[in-house]
Amino acid sequence: MPREILPNAVLEKLRCIGDADAAKAFDTDRAAAEDFRRKVHKVGLTRAVGALDPKRRDGLMGEGIAMADSAATRVRPDPGRLRVAQRMFGRFTPEITGALLLAALPQSYATMHGSKVLAATGALETDLVRRVRGTAQFLLVVTQPAQDDREAQYLWRPRSDPKSEDSGAHLPWQVCTALRLYHETIRRRVSKATPKETTAAYGGVPLNQEDLLGMMLTFSITVFEVLEQYGISWTAEEQEAYLHLWDVIGAYLGIGTSDVVDEIEPLLAARKYSIEGWAGLRPPSIADTRALLDQIRHRQWAMGETTTAISYTVGPDGPRSLSDGRLLASALLDELACAMPPMLKLLPATMMRTLAPEVVRRRLSLGGNGAVLRALQLLPGRRNIVDRFTSVSTPNPVTGRVLRAMANEVSTRATVRFLGSEGFTIPGHEQWSHGFNRCI
Amino acid sequence: MAANGGGGTIGGPLPAPPKVGCVHLLSDDWIKAVARTPENDLRAHRIALTYHHLGLYLDELLHDDKSVRQTSEKPLHDRSGIVHNANWFNFATWATLTVAQNIGNQQPLQRLNTGPGMLLRRALTPAVLNIKASGGQQVGRALAWGQLVIFNAACNGLLTLTRHIEASIAKPKRKTWPTMKPEDLLVPLQAGAPIPDDQLKAYARYLSPLNDALRYYAEACQASDDETKARLILGANLRITQVEQDFADKAVGVVVDLVPRRLVNGIDWRLAQLAERLRSMPRHMSYVVLENLHSRERTAFDAMWSRFMTDQVLVMALPTETLRVGRDIPPLRRDRPYYPDDLTFERDLSKLKPGPFRDRVAAVAVLVRSLDRTVGDGRGSAARDWRRWDERINWALTLLRTRQHDTSLFWHPYSSRDERRIVAGELPLRSGDPSALDVQPPLDPTIERLVNLAIDNPNFNNDDDLDFDPDDVADKGVDLLQQTGGDHAT
């Protein structure tokens, strides 16, 4: 059993909480919100705002700015740390992209309830390509580099910007707010007639606070875990800066708002827990953040349940829980395989198996790797002495380099494929992206 | 003939029951008799024989006048365009016969029947048999138990389906689907002994996929077009295979891990003896301590051995080919696409053909896609570690999809005389193992056609689209069959 950072009762409570502010924004103009959802499906998240009717857009943007303002006061973006995080992203772009595509996304598909929501939102196959590209585009926007502290602040400061609104959401705060609103439209769309039926179908409110928190931590901590497998280690400051970036993104996505904290406060007090000094729902230290993700994984991957083979046919959490995740993994693998040359078409699956924990491999029916990769992973690691009583193990340098090169091959080719798709742009290089688009 | 005109049985009379002599093979009595057969090797042959006949019976339920048995009685020109669909029992027949060699202790592994292994056969066979028999014959017992549980579930499933179809014929407007009960999954090994509640509860989880499979078969009986029928049958085959592989999971682990475990335990025992001599430490205590040391290295050794076994040793013997589980499954026909057209699913499910079973076919497509880890041409179907359920399912799924239309799966594994011997409780004279060339192809009119074409065109490998008068040849074939006493279905 992993260490309890938040009591399980609190995590259960978080499953019943959605996003009150976004719900209010949705209710202000339902037709505009629904139109926005359709536009996201049609032209993508970043261009959906620009594609809206100006009247509707103004109303939605007003609500969006209010939500973003509230987020900015809760977790104040620190320009210095944001720039460190952006620099790290720039330096390790293929590695981080690979970690997200080959480890974080599969891990999120392996969750008990999250994949059901993804599956319930429509045509999985065609939608998945859009989703994967949308995720990649979202990451490029939120991690776009700033020249100095002033620009870093500018990127995250909510304000009305008619010029930007016409061309779409290309600033981090805009794209986060657009995604937050999109999440609310999904909540409304997949919810059943009664809350009881919804809870039975998704284990709580769709896209609830626990699912969002789990997703945010997966996207940040999994990157560290994968880089460690390559033998790349970041300093504590760099890790904290990267986590801070995700704290800010999380706040703009409505994770751990003051309403949420108010709702869980009595439960925390009753168990003598406190989240004073936390960044939203994330504990302040890196070790505790990792432990919290482990706790959520343990719950979401049903690791406490029986893990006999039958659980991989039917699923301890219902017959559909595994099949949705497996289908999503399959569609992701298809998309990645399409980006590879014929000789390397099996490489994405190989890397996904290598980077995924055993429970994820089983839940997603990914299989095991062959003798060569298995042997490579068994090569003895290096032990680094930290101080008199502490040592840290790092993987064998050969293993790390080989894995890194293989994963980079996949992520680079996938990125080129994404760049070739219509509407995919690199912030600050819009013209170049469109030109690349046409070349491909 | 089916009332719906789709070549299925719901609405028409049931086919003749599967029998050998006067023994009804789809009856409670026979299922219990097989389950309570004390000898493992005889039981394995009885299971294979039953599967074979149930496969032909289910084929008639599904296809009626287009079934393999009824098609073989038609003149050749009436057979064109008929596509046969192997069901789970056809595949299980050959899988059982492959496993049967490893349950008894008379024969070496199938890999020693072909290739370089043949040269080592004489030297290796005693060692292999010795290992197989070691540890209280763990391999044979584990495989036999897994095989027995699967047999009970599959046969009772078909019994449930048959009863459902009988009821549907009596009341055509009834809108229900065949449903199994937990008791159907297990047969007490001793007459009159109750099945423990906890065991029933544990096995109840298998009911959902099995009932799913029965429903697919029942719908396939009703489906009017060949493509839908083939896809629904694939769905049923796959659902049962999922359960079957779950049943067999632990048994496979025991079999694959046997050698490394024995080796490591042997080393532990030697070390424990040494510790007793040098340090006066009781050896049983040292042994227990040693067993719990170096768990990471032991797991790694097990894994490496398992990968070696999967790659080099394990096979599945089909009538016309022996497939290695550690290699990608080769195409059935090199001149055709890897997957048959009707079993290649549309990428966009909204483009599925409209019809009464559209949703069900979509569910099959989702199931197939969720478990398929190949890149579309069979690459990636090879298993790396046969102990893993997901690896076995990936391999099995490719096998089911590529071989579903292979009529050689309907061939008889045993001669008529051997069938009677097995039913009477004696071991067959021939083991029915295709890799040991114990299976003979059926003698039917197509053979003469094949020979003529092979003479005319040495590159010939296609027995379709032929144009000649078959009646004369068919008569000769029937004469030959009667002379040789053969009664092959195809």
Structure tokens at A165: 């609104």
Residue pair A179/A45 in contact (Cβ under 8 Å)? The answer is yes
Among B370, B381, B387, pick the best mutation site for testing chain A contact (most A Cβ within 10 A): B370
Query: Binning pLDDT at 50, 70 and 90, where does residue B296 land?
Result: confident
Q: Name chain B contacts of A333, Cβ cutoff 8 Å.
A: 373
Write the pLDDT tens digit of every residue in A374-388: 888 888 888 888 778
Structure tokens at A72: 């900015």
Write the pLDDT tens digit of every residue in A38-93: 888 888 887 887 788 888 888 888 888 889 988 888 889 999 999 999 999 989 99
Is the CB of B380 inside 8 Å of chain A's CB atoms? yes
The whole-model pTM stands at 0.86
The whole-angstrom separation of Cα B144 and Cα B103 is: 7
Query: With a CB-CB cutoff of 8 Å, which residues 278-337 of chain B face chain A?
Result: 300, 303-304, 307-308, 311
Please tell me which residue, B145 or B97, carries the higher pLDDT value. B97
Length of chain A: 440
**Backbone torsions φ then ψ of B188, nearest 5 degrees:** -60, 135
Is the CB of A368 inside 8 Å of chain B's CB atoms? yes
Structure tokens at B458: 């040495």
Q: Tell me, what's the pLDDT at B40?
A: 83
Residue pair A415/A97 in contact (Cβ under 8 Å)? The answer is yes
Q: Which helix (H) or strand (E) holds A114?
A: helix A114-120
Q: Å from A241 to nearest chain B CA?
A: 35
**Proportion of chain B above pLDDT 90, given as a percent:** 37
Lowest model confidence (mean pLDDT) among B155-159, B239-243, B472-476: B472-476
Instruction: Compute the average pLDDT of residues A281-288.
Output: 94
For chain B, the first-to-last Cα distance in angstroms comes to: 20
Structure tokens at B243: 């359960």
Q: Which residues, including other chains, have CB under 8 Å from residue B246's CB and lie 6 or more apart?
A: A309, A310, A312, A313, B206, B389
Residue pair A13/A203 in contact (Cβ under 8 Å)? The answer is no
Pick from A308, A319, A368: CB nearest B384: A368
B215 pLDDT above the threshold of 50: yes
Q: Is B47 exposed, middle or buried (0-12, 13-18, 19+ CB in 10 A)?
A: buried
CB contact under 8 A, B367 and A323: yes
Instruction: Compute the average pLDDT of residues B217-233.
Output: 93
Residue pair A313/B246 in contact (Cβ under 8 Å)? The answer is yes
The whole-angstrom separation of Cα A413 and Cα B356 is: 42
> What angle do the packed helices B40-63 and B416-424 form, to 10 degrees?
120
Q: Tell me, what's the pLDDT at B488?
A: 42
Please tell me which residue, B35 or B7, carries the higher pLDDT value. B35
The whole-angstrom separation of Cα A254 and Cα A215 is: 13
Q: Name chain A contacts of B366, Cβ cutoff 8 Å.
A: 323, 327
The whole-angstrom separation of Cα A355 and Cα A411 is: 13
> What angle do the packed helices A236-252 and A172-190 form, to 10 degrees?
50
The whole-angstrom separation of Cα A226 and Cα A209 is: 25
User: Alpha helix locations (H) across A365-396?
Assistant: 371-378
Is the CB of A122 inside 8 Å of chain B's CB atoms? no
The whole-angstrom separation of Cα B13 and Cα B165 is: 9
Write the pLDDT tens digit of every residue in A404-425: 999 999 999 998 888 877 667 7
Pick from B208, B383, B390: CB nearest A365: B390
At A386 the three-state DSSP class reads strand
Is the CB of B381 inside 8 Å of chain A's CB atoms? no
**Backbone torsions φ then ψ of B126, nearest 5 degrees:** -60, -40
The whole-angstrom separation of Cα B238 and Cα B240 is: 5
Residue pair B372/B443 in contact (Cβ under 8 Å)? The answer is no
The whole-angstrom separation of Cα A196 and Cα A207 is: 16
Compare all CA atoms of chain A with the CA of B204 and give the residue at the minimum distance. Answer: A310
What Rg, from alpha-carbon coordinates, does chain A have?
Answer: 21
Q: pLDDT averaged over chain B?
A: 81
Query: Binning pLDDT at 50, 70 and 90, where does residue B361 land?
Result: very high
Q: Å from B384 to nearest chain A CA?
A: 5
The whole-angstrom separation of Cα A400 and Cα A405 is: 9
Pick from B209, B249, B383: CB nearest A314: B209
Is the CB of B346 inside 8 Å of chain A's CB atoms? no
CB contact under 8 A, A366 and B373: yes
Q: Distances from the Cα of A315 to the Cαs of A96, A104, A208, B251, in angstroms?
A: 31, 21, 22, 21
Among A109, A115, A125, pick the best mutation site for testing chain B contact (most B Cβ within 10 A): A125
Structure tokens at A35: 């139109």
Compare all CA atoms of chain B with the CA of A319 and give the residue at the minimum distance. Answer: B208
Amino acid at B79: R
Q: Tell me, what's the pLDDT at B1?
A: 39
User: Alpha helix locations (H) across B171-282?
Assistant: 197-203, 207-222, 226-247, 249-279
Among B311, B373, B387, pick the best mutation site for testing chain A contact (most A Cβ within 10 A): B373
The whole-angstrom separation of Cα B110 and Cα B246 is: 24
The whole-angstrom separation of Cα A351 and Cα B193 is: 51
The whole-angstrom separation of Cα A131 and Cα A101 is: 12
Q: Å from A209 to nearest chain B CA?
A: 28
CB contact under 8 A, A365 and B205: no
Is the CB of A375 inside 8 Å of chain B's CB atoms? yes
Q: Tell me, what's the pLDDT at A215?
A: 94
Amino acid at B194: P
Write the pLDDT tens digit of every residue in A197-213: 888 778 889 999 999 99
Query: Binning pLDDT at 50, 70 and 90, where does residue B489 land?
Result: very low
Cβ contacts of A159-167, under 8 Å, gap ≥ 24: A159/A65, A160/A61, A160/A65, A165/A49, A165/A50, A165/A57, A165/A61, A166/A50, A167/A50
Q: Tell me, what's the pLDDT at A12?
A: 93
Nearest residue to A64 via CA among A84, A77, A86, A48: A48
Q: Distances from the Cα of A46 to the Cαs of A66, A146, B59, in angstroms?
A: 19, 19, 55
**Backbone torsions φ then ψ of B340, nearest 5 degrees:** -60, 150
Q: Which residues, including other chains, have CB under 8 Å from residue B475's CB and lie 6 or more apart?
A: none
Q: Å from A366 to nearest chain B CA?
A: 7
Amino acid at A423: G
At A394 the three-state DSSP class reads strand
Q: Tell me, what's the pLDDT at A421?
A: 74
Compare all CA atoms of chain B with the CA of A330 and give the residue at the minimum distance. Answer: B370
Q: Tell me, what's the pLDDT at B2?
A: 41
Instruction: Compute the average pLDDT of residues A242-270.
Output: 94
Amino acid at A187: R
Write the pLDDT tens digit of every residue in B72-87: 877 777 777 888 999 9
CB contact under 8 A, B249 and A367: no
Query: With a CB-CB cutoff of 8 Å, which residues 240-269 of chain B face chain A?
Result: 242-243, 245-246, 249-250
Residue pair B403/B252 in contact (Cβ under 8 Å)? The answer is no
Q: Name chain B contacts of A327, Cβ cutoff 8 Å.
A: 366, 369-370
B468 pLDDT above the threshold of 50: no
The whole-angstrom separation of Cα B293 and Cα B78 is: 68
Q: Which helix (H) or strand (E) holds B473?
A: helix B470-484
Q: Å from B244 to nearest chain A CA?
A: 10
The whole-angstrom separation of Cα B78 and Cα A15 is: 63
Structure tokens at B438: 């114990």
Among B243, B250, B369, pick the best mutation site for testing chain A contact (most A Cβ within 10 A): B369
Write the pLDDT tens digit of every residue in B427-443: 998 888 877 777 777 76
Q: Tell me, what's the pLDDT at B477?
A: 44
